[in-house]
Structure 1
């Protein structure tokens, strides 16, 4: 796979590290080769493909509601929108559906795509439905262990709920050579307080998600 430099107006490495204006991530296949000022990375790797993004580049997000969103909610097929709408179904609306293993798997695949569109690169929780677990594994999403149920109602937006933005960032922070290339870009103002901007706009402002070195979401 060719070398790719992902450049944004501001890079937030995470874990309390200082923001880097004009920062970029150099990806070699599935791994991060380097993180730093765009000019330095471009000079070191002049043959690398460059992707320029607006806004802020951050570590990918971890959604704490993995089972709730993928095993206890149904994501309608677009062909069902006229009957079921477009939002995830839970509770009595879910109970009214005839759910089979294959239908749960298809729903999970659609749910994963919606997560990717919100900058998510990992989910927390244990999956007990085989077809759902298979859909998550095939997607490449990371799976984190959790020890307590997360507070608040399940949401596709890991930046919602009022918790500090950095708590939603997947670890480790960006900057370690050889780490898996998982990150996201959000179209929010890069000046001022980028954390406040992310909290206001939420993860729906995601314009790109890179998972295991692959561009898996790009907003049209």
Structure 2
């Protein structure tokens, strides 16, 4: 079924922004990108999903392996005790890390990435518990050879905190024929998005599937 994702501003990356824009998705593929009226006229039978703010390509997490293997993502039932942020360093070392607990952390870490508009992970995932969870998530795995330089601190779940512009943070630009990986953010423009971060994500579409919806 064709779906049109519409927003006040579409940022395709590699092409001009589109005010009152839309992206038509056919299965797992981008069918068209442009002004909403034109896209809707070309696909009159499509279901329409409207999002606030900006619609962008899905983001790429450069440090997925670190976040999945060197951080613990607490279960919501542990928030009172551990908080809701990933645990690293001494706090991680102090946990009784069973295989069951670790597998749960990996799954929750992937879910948190989706909540931040991530659709691609850079790196190699060989450890069975991690490789299996990544494969099941549907997230695209890409090369880490062009990763940004060394961070001044630990990696962040927010890919926008690791780059200076949107182009450096996305997986693949929104172009016709590309895989339909996109994200919607409650921010009025690119500058506001970069300032506020990917925590403003309200929807993540992975291979044409709506896998996260914040509202």
Please, what TM-score do these two structures have when normalized by structure 1? 0.91
Asked whether the 8 Å contact 1:210–1:216 carries over to 2, the reply is: yes
- SS of 1:168 mapped into structure 2: coil
State the match for 1:110 in structure 2.
108
Counterpart CA distance in 1 for 2:70 and 2:58 is: 24
In the TM superposition, 1:64-79 aligns within 5 A as: 64-79=62-77
- SS of 2:56 mapped into structure 1: strand
Q: State the 1:82 CA deviation.
A: 2.1
State the match for 1:214 in structure 2.
209
State the match for 1:43 in structure 2.
41
Tell me the C-alpha RMSD between the 2 structures.
1.5
State the match for 1:165 in structure 2.
166
State the match for 2:9 in structure 1.
10
State the match for 1:180 in structure 2.
179
- SS of 1:22 mapped into structure 2: strand
1:75-116 C-alpha deviation (Å, 9 max, x unpaired): 011112222221111111111222233322211110111111
Counterpart CA distance in 1 for 2:34 and 2:175 is: 8
In the TM superposition, 1:117-156 aligns within 5 A as: 117-147=115-145, 150-152=149-151, 153-156=154-157
- SS of 1:166 mapped into structure 2: coil
Q: How many pairs are equivalent?
A: 212
Asked whether the 8 Å contact 1:102–1:131 carries over to 2, the reply is: no
Asked whether the 8 Å contact 1:63–1:120 carries over to 2, the reply is: yes
Please, what TM-score do these two structures have when normalized by structure 2? 0.93
